[in-house]
Every structure is written in C-alpha cells, then in structure tokens.
Structure 1
Amino acid sequence: MSLKLKVIIGSTRPGRAAPVVGAWAAKAAKAHGGFEVELVDLATVDLPLLDEPNHPAMKQYEHEHTKAWSAIVDDADAFLFVTPEYDYFPPAALVNALQCLSQEWRYKPAATVSYGFVSGGLRAAQELRMLLANLLMMPLPQVVPLPFFPQFIKDGVLEPNEQMTDGMSMALTELAKWAEALKPMRG
C-alpha cells in the first residue's frame, strides 16, 4: 500500500489564491509518485472555532464536523500544508484545524508550501512548523516558498519556476522518507 498524503489548503478567505496553489501542490505530489494524494480544502471542511467540549487529546468528539476532520487526518501518513502569510503568521483557520485535534497528528511528517510577497510566506511557515512540532509531528525544514506568487498565476493555474519545482520535488522526497520511517511509531 502506498503512503497517503493529504495536501491541506490552509486559507478560507474569500478571493484567496490557496486553491490555485493547492492544485499545483497536489498535481506535483501525484507526479512525484511516492504518495496516494488527496487535496483537502479547509473551506469545505468548515470547522467552527474550537467548539468541542472535551480536550482533543481525549479524542471524544461530539460534533460530526470534528469526527469527519479526525477521519481525514487519521487516514494520512504525511501532510503538505499550503499556507499564505497573514500578518507574519499562518491563517487562523489553519491554526484552528490543527488545534482541534491531537492524537491524529502524532508521528507524521509535514512539509509546507508557503506563499506571499517578499518573504514568500516563510515567516508563516516558520510559525507553523513550531505548532506542528508541538503536536508531535515532524515538520520538515524544506519549505517550498512562492515569493511574489501572483506573477506565477496565469488563467487560474500556477506556473512554477524551476526553483519552485525543484523545491517541491525535494520536499516530497523527504516527506516520503520520513513517512516511511515514522510508520512503525504510529502502529
């Protein structure tokens, strides 16, 4: 059985570029060949702000949206988070999606595709990596930044440059290595 990669679109804002960036990331992951890939958009998952009465570590969810989100995350071997940078930070919707679960994230690797302007979203990616580590995930240092991202979007499709393509390939290769290595810890 192949490794399961969830590409998580982390922005829910109207007018967002996240679905375009996420579609590129999912396409690149499928072309890589190391994963069974599923694109997950937090806008369609539609999680309210931390509305479960029990702590996520208990895994005693009362709401169907949390149970559905838990099943999506639990099914994964690895994650590729697609995040813009909002005020030097990842979007609140992404932080909420991470914090409403606990055990489902453990011992799984995660890489980040970040986008923004001058920084390419690297500040958001760095903050995200700290949160991922606190959830007992293995956040890879190989971030795929997309600086000045609008110039790479043509007719609703992201057309990456060589550095973006190479960075994505490297991140996916590392994700596959870590996902395989961490699998016994999740048993």
Structure 2
Amino acid sequence: MLNFLSRRTMKGEKATAKTSLLESWSPGGFLRATLRFFQFVMAVVVIGLYAQDLRKAQQQGKYADAKWVYAVFVGSLSAFLALVFALPLVKSWMFFYLDALVCFFWVVVFGIFGRMYLPLKPDDDEAARDNSPGVVRMKRAAWIDMTNMLLWFFSAVYGAFVFWKWRKERTVFTGRAESHV
C-alpha cells in the first residue's frame, strides 16, 4: 500500500533541476519578489517617519493628527500586504485590484503631505517657527510617499497584465487546452 515510502520517491516524480527552488524562479517571479521587498522596506520607513510625530504628540499630551494616523495606517497596510503577497504560494497577480487600492491610498498620502510640505523652504519664517529639520524630514517623507505610490502602481499594472494574460490561456476547464495523446 505504501510502496513509495520504501523507495523514498513517488513514481514519476523524480527530482530534476526544474524542481529546485532557484531553477524554478522565472524573471517575473524575481521581479515580483524584488518589488514586494522594496514595498515592504519603504512602508516600514514611512511608518518610522510618521510614527515619531505621533509619539511626540502623545508625550506632549496633544491629540494625534488624523493625517499622520492615516499615513501610519497606509504604511502598515502596505507592509502587511507586501509580506503576504511576497509568499511563494500566493498568486498576488490575482489581487491586482488590492494593489491598485493601496496605490490610491498612497496617492492620497502624497497629496496631503506633498501639499503641506513640498512648497515650504526650510528658511521660511513659518518653517523656522515649526523647526526646520522637521520640515526637511517631512519633505523627504513626502517624496518617499511618492515612491511608495509608484511601487504599488507598478505592481498593480504588472498584476493586471499577468491576470489578463492568464485569463486568455488555454486550460482544461475552458475546453481550449492542448490534447495530451
């Protein structure tokens, strides 16, 4: 009954170069893993940049501004989804609409903080009153928001492309599969 255990293999399933991890990676899989890694790293950077202002406000007994809370939320969501979509067994291209939604969230974050900080110069009177190094940090944070937006845009476009390509493939279920004789 369990003859395959004594031979340590199953009939017809021999280890080949195609079954090893490195040999089974396609250029698309490498691109996806690299993109998800950068999405995760940049999301963690954004969490760190905005969360320190939230912590400072909490220590001073002030309220947490909704803009900063939203930025940390989007960064946390992005980090979580980047980790989940980086898993090898998850076909993340099937969830390209989630990538597009997160891209939209990053557009909103970039719009909020880009409008607030990009027009300011660190030498302005208003900026000097608001701590010039903080303004420079928030200007950099706005550009990082834009980078996150572009990373999620690229993953949404790539996922949509693979999804529509996959829909047109021949399968056994559609009746358009090649016959195996």
Give the TM-score of the pair, scaled to structure 2: 0.26
Write 1 or 2 for the structure with the bigger share of helix.
2
Write 1 or 2 for the structure with the bigger share of strand.
1
Give the TM-score of the pair, scaled to structure 1: 0.26
Q: Find the structure with the greater CA-based Rg.
A: 2
